[in-house]
Amino acid sequence: MLTSVNGDCIVPEVLAGKGKSNDVFQNQVIPPRFGQREPEELEELALKQKSLDNQKYQESLRRSLEEPEEFWKEVGQCVTWTKPWDEVLDNTKQPFTKWFVGGELNACYNAVDRHVLAGDGEKVALIHDSPVTKSIRHITYQELQDKVSRLAGALAKMGVSRGDRVIVYMPMIPEAIIAMLATVRLGAVHSVVFGGFAARELRVRIEHAEPKVIIVASAGCEPNRIVRYKDIVNEAIATSSVKPLHCILYQRYNVAFAELDPEYDTLWEDALAMSEPHSCVPVEANDPLYILYTSGTTDSPKGIQRPVGGHIATLAWTMQTIYGMGKNDVWWTASDMGWVVGHSYICYGPLVYGMTSVMYEGKPDRTPDPGAYFRVIHEHGVNGMLTAPTALRVIKRADPEVKFGTKYSTKSLRTLFAAGEHCDYDTLTWARRIFDVPVLNHWWQTETGHSITASCIGFGHSVNPPRYSAGLPFIGYNGLL
């Protein structure tokens, strides 16, 4: 069993207030529902936000830049360590900075096991909402631990160990997250490939990562077609110079069946049934968590390698500081696991933090109609949401008067964040009116893993920033114009 050095999310002193509770939300300004406050109240609220802005945000930003070791040491306490670090920051080989050098931890333990040990095993970790298969699944932290540990045992039997790579090629289903967590449970490295990529793109990533195992679903489901994932994997392997040793196949019997090669393929359910639960393998803080390829415009894909320790600690911390979420809130990132947004804020951010994450397998408009997002918010009591401006434009174009959306209540929702591209002002104001919450641009990219600029709800930033604003520089970034 892993021993916790410190698993509580300790907010830096400037946030918590010296001698006070460490809860960042003790003085939090909750964004108002639009149209429900008098002008005098809004003015008073704005003054409070400005005060919080100047005091907490500016001091945190200053400390992160001028006193990085002391500041990020406190953020590092958001996760559980099996071995304390020797030094917070090693900047002797710039730009290859190392954080929490010598410290050891496991990402899966922090995302799953520690919550079970803390008594939250019956808490829902994942809500899978799939209008394309007309199904909804709730997976608790205890259930997640059981599935992840058994799949890790199966991977270990196949020869996967610390530092090895595993490719995950699956649609938006919980098994994708289970596969990711099972991989890092062993100290191995996952490379999730976006399900929209064809065999050629998959082959390039196989040859780059040299995985021992590929974990694949039989098929994905689009509004008008079935995408046969296993067939694409077979084609990619046939043309690849690298041949993985094994393939674990998750049959989606309600979507499409894939033929099994008994010498190479193992059914998902057989892999779990034949394996004993595997414990978490601690890794050094700067060991890789995953490889993820940029979504940019260069000729060939560039694999981003993310270190474990500082990344998962910061992601858990941003659930508070950027998004203003509490651990009993429900968070929904409407994105894909094949992109950095899915890695950071469907999987690691909310799960390491210990809250409930919604995973949506559908479209904003055709599964079955433009009321889909409103239904998800209503049915699951979503409190915070992150989506792409394109999705908002799709809904606006398909149903500008929101005739489908008005069938549902969005009263649980407090804030909607937009990322992936800049949200134009017309779409932003439309979404603000329709969802009846603040809609906030923020900017980041695959290379950073989280925001570079943002309106930080946990710091009391204004929920009515200037027009076209993507927020202020996030902590640790010296952003200048």
* SS3 call for 224: coil
pLDDT of residue 302: 85
Query: Does 132 reside within a domain?
Result: no
DSSP code of 437? S
Average pLDDT for residues 115-135, to the nearest whole number?
98
Spatial distance between the Cα atoms of 331 and 341, rounded to a whole number of angstroms: 13
Give the residue, 480 or 163, on which the prediction is more confident.
163
- What residue spans of 124-173 are helical by DSSP H? 141-157
Query: Does 260 reside within a domain?
Result: yes
Q: pLDDT tens digits for 36-72? A: 444 455 455 455 555 455 588 999 999 999 999 999 9
Query: Does 356 reside within a domain?
Result: yes
Spatial distance between the Cα atoms of 307 and 287, rounded to a whole number of angstroms: 5
Can you read off the two tokens belonging to residue 100? Answer: 């929490």
Same domain membership, residue 274 and residue 347: no
Alpha carbon distances (Å) from 455 to 229, 324, 471: 38, 10, 4
Same domain membership, residue 320 and residue 445: yes
Q: pLDDT tens digits for 206-217? A: 999 999 999 999
Which CATH number do you get for residue 320? Answer: 3.40.50.12780
> Of 224, 253, 284, which residue is a domain's last?
284
Which CATH number do you get for residue 252? Answer: 3.40.50.980
Spatial distance between the Cα atoms of 142 and 307, rounded to a whole number of angstroms: 26
Same domain membership, residue 367 and residue 430: yes
% of the chain residues with pLDDT over 90: 81
Same domain membership, residue 458 and residue 320: yes
Same domain membership, residue 155 and residue 85: no
Average pLDDT for residues 295-324, to the nearest whole number?
89
Same domain membership, residue 467 and residue 374: yes
Same domain membership, residue 72 and residue 149: no
Same domain membership, residue 415 and residue 312: yes
> Of 284, 317, 335, which residue is a domain's last?
284
Same domain membership, residue 278 and residue 319: no
Q: pLDDT tens digits for 397-430? A: 999 999 999 999 999 999 999 999 989 999 999 9
Q: Which structural domain range is residue 213 located in? A: 141-284
pLDDT of residue 160: 99
Number of domains observed in the structure of the chain: 2
> Of 230, 251, 284, which residue is a domain's last?
284
pLDDT of residue 29: 40
* Residue among 465, 376, 390 nearest 427 (CA): 390
Average pLDDT for residues 219-224, to the nearest whole number?
93
Query: Does 397 reside within a domain?
Result: yes
pLDDT band at 263 (very low <50, low <70, confident <90, very high): confident
Same domain membership, residue 277 and residue 196: yes
Q: What is the mean pLDDT of the chain?
A: 90
pLDDT band at 151 (very low <50, low <70, confident <90, very high): very high
Residue 186 has pLDDT above 90, yes or no: yes
* SS3 call for 101: strand
Amino acid at 347: C
pLDDT of residue 48: 54
Q: pLDDT tens digits for 449-471? A: 999 999 999 998 888 889 889 99
pLDDT band at 27 (very low <50, low <70, confident <90, very high): very low
pLDDT of residue 55: 81
Same domain membership, residue 223 and residue 168: yes
Query: Does 358 reside within a domain?
Result: yes
Query: Does 13 reside within a domain?
Result: no
pLDDT of residue 295: 62
Same domain membership, residue 350 and residue 448: yes
Query: Does 113 reside within a domain?
Result: no
Query: Does 292 reside within a domain?
Result: no
pTM score? 0.90
Can you read off the two tokens belonging to residue 29? Answer: 């300004």
Q: pLDDT tens digits for 70-105? A: 999 999 999 999 999 999 999 999 999 999 999 999
Residue 310 has pLDDT above 80, yes or no: yes
